[in-house]
Amino acid sequence: MNPKQKRNKKQRLIDLFGSQCWWCSKSLPQKDLTIDHLLPKSRGGTNSCENLRLSCFPCNNHRGNSLYPPNYKSLNYF
Ligand SMILES: [Zn+2]
């Protein structure tokens, strides 16, 4: 994704899910949200909105390439 596509994707995700972290529900300004892949790209995940969620930096960073949420509290999305 180029930066413009990334911005559009982010806006779309905010419209869908709100301006908050998908994992910890923390509300954040758009600039502090990162795009997180439910199924990591390294495991074949796509850049479609179904596979993308907004995440705060600590949660995104903590997950890395894991298939699971940062603290394993909700496993019901798969
Ligand atoms: Zn978070």
Global pTM reads 0.77
Taking the centre of ligand 1 as the mean of its atom positions, its distance from the CA of residue 68, in whole angstroms, is 13
Taking the centre of ligand 1 as the mean of its atom positions, its distance from the CA of residue 28, in whole angstroms, is 9
Q: Are 52 and 9 in contact (CB under 8 A)?
A: yes
- What type of residue is 40? P
Q: What is the pLDDT of residues 23-69, one digit of tens each?
A: 999 999 999 999 999 888 888 999 999 999 999 998 988 877 666 66
pLDDT at residue 1, as a whole number = 83
Q: Which domains does the chain have, with CATH numbers?
A: 3-63 (1.10.30.50)
- The neighbourhood of ligand 1, an ion, using CB within 5 A, equals 21, 23-24, 56, 59
Q: What is the pLDDT of residues 6-34, one digit of tens each?
A: 999 999 999 999 999 999 999 999 999 99
Place of tokens 């301006």: 19
